[in-house]
Structures are given as C-alpha cells and as structure tokens.
Amino acid sequence: MKAASVASLLCGGALLLYTAGWFAGWFQAHPILVFGFLCIAYKRWSDARQPWPDYGGRITSVHSVAEWDALLKSSGSKLVVVDAYALWCPPCKAAAPTYAQMSEAFSPDSVTFAKFNTDEAGDLARQLGITAMPTFKLFKGGVEVDTLSGRWGQLAGLLKKHGAKDATKKAD
C-alpha cells in the first residue's frame, strides 16, 4: 500500500473518530433536544405503520379464506367486489375514501363491497392471485368476472357493466 493512501486512510479514520466524539459530546450536552428528536422520529415511524382512518361505507372486512368463501356463498348471484390492499401502499391509502364512497353510492341489493389486507390474509391473496396493490376483483355467482389493478377510477364503470345499481334506484 502506498504511503499516501495509508495517510489518507489514517486521516479519514481520525476525522471519523473526531466527528463521532463531537456528536457524542453534543448528545450529552443537549439531552432534551435529543429526546425530542427521538420522540418526533418515533411518532413519524409509528404513524406510517398505522392503518388509515376508517372512511365508513358498507364494506365487509375479510380476514381469512374461510370468511371469503362464506361471503361469496352468502352473496349468491349478487356482484361482489373485493379490494386487496396493504397498509404500506400509498395508492391503497388514496383509493380507500373513494372505495368507501362507492360502497354507499351503489345499492347493497346489487353489490357487496369487501376488502382485505394482503399482509394479514396472505393465503387469500395467493388464492386470488394478487400481485399488485390495490387490486379490485369482481365476482358474480362465486366466479371472477373482472379485475382492476391500480386504477380505481375505472371501478364504478366496471361495477355498472356487471350489474351494480345506483343506491337511489331499486335493484331489478
């Protein structure tokens, strides 16, 4: 190894030790500021892991394959739409209020709205073939009739295409 590279390595190491020592001294001199910073960092971290607020609506939360199968069976020939989401997914968080509003806008006699967290119900996500979030799948008579990944703006049109009626109108 050349003397110049050894010297620069030693100088870099000394600078790193000096900087670390300075930070340690600063932390000891300002414990309240350090504590405040750690509290803010923790709050941001924990908020990012929390689910978004419940936006209401007529939405059934599904937590397992058994619950999903029971929902499909109880819905008969009625249209069922399911939202596969994840808490860490920004587009899922953006779609949540729109999905809740749609559940109120369509008649519960013609369509059932459901949702499930892909991280909690991994077996269901695998069974339904979920590869992206958010994914909306439409079922009629227990059979998948349509899928929409990512673009929830087209969901209302798909619901109407497959027989969902507006809440203000009576289902046929």
Is 89 among the residues known to form the active site? yes
**Catalytic, out of 65, 71, 86, 89:** 89
Evaluate whether 103 touches 59 at the Cβ level (below 8 Å).
Answer: yes
For β-strands 59-61 and 79-85, DSSP reports them as unpaired
Evaluate whether 77 touches 111 at the Cβ level (below 8 Å).
Answer: no
**Catalytic, out of 59, 62, 81, 92:** 92
Is 92 among the residues known to form the active site? yes
* CA neighbours closer than 13 Å in the CB half-sphere of residue 97: 4
Q: Which residues of 153-172 are buried (b: 16+ CB within 10 A; e: fewer)?
A: eebbebbeebbbbebeeeee
Show which residues are catalytic.
Answer: 89, 92
